[in-house]
Amino acid sequence: MNGLRRQTSRQLHEEHVHVLGLLDKLGAAAARQGAAAPAPAPGDETWGPLLGQLAGALQHEVTRHFDLEEQRLFPLLREHGHGDLAELLHEEHQVIREVARPLLEQLGGARAGTLDAAGWKPLRLLILELVDRLGAHARMEEDALVPVVDEILDEDTDMEIWNAHMN
């Protein structure tokens, strides 16, 4: 997305692009694996790195990103007459957290190689659900949130958010 004026909106955009890239890889790998396939081995060259990146994203990047949106950006939306959008996006965060929580727990077993086929099946479904829900959410925010944030952020607030949250 070109032409964004503010550091906060540019960073938000970059983080969306980054997570969408990871979700694409996860979705493709889960589709190739198939519902009946056994759990990937611990050293699996596709799943090993992907599951590590997913665990890191859920523990750190996604959590921090959601917190920033909820604490700083959604209040700004409400102040500027976009309260409905703020509510919708916040509800989606809560649904995504409900998927991320069990997913993160089950990822521990997968990465330690203690997962059997019976454990892999629900984990794979949770991964697909995250790909759907977080993917749709990030794409909606690219269309509806990033341009609005860019529009309503003044330079001082942008700088203040950047200093407090982004570096």
| Residues binding Fe ion (CB under 5 A) | 69, 141
Cα end-to-end distance, the chain, whole Å: 22
Least CB distance to Fe ion at residue 128 (A)? 20
Least CB distance to Fe ion at residue 151 (A)? 16
Least CB distance to Fe ion at residue 101 (A)? 17
User: Residue 83 or 113: which CB sits closer to Fe ion?
Assistant: 83
Q: In one letter, which amino acid is 84? A: D
Least CB distance to Fe ion at residue 66 (A)? 6
Distance of CA 63 to the CA centre of its chain: 8
Contact 62, 138 (CB under 8 A): no
User: Residue 69 or 150: which CB sits closer to Fe ion?
Assistant: 69
User: Residue 121 or 152: which CB sits closer to Fe ion?
Assistant: 152
Q: Which residue is nearest to Fe ion (CB)?
A: 141
Structure tokens at 36: 């009946």
User: Residue 91 or 116: which CB sits closer to Fe ion?
Assistant: 91
User: Residue 69 or 158: which CB sits closer to Fe ion?
Assistant: 69
51: left (phi over 0), alpha (psi -120 to 50) or beta: alpha
What is the C-alpha separation between 13 and 7, in angstroms, rounded? Answer: 10
Structure tokens at 53: 């990146």
Least CB distance to Fe ion at residue 69 (A)? 5
Q: Coil, strand or helix: which one is 80?
A: coil
Q: 95: closest CA among 145, 137, 140? A: 137
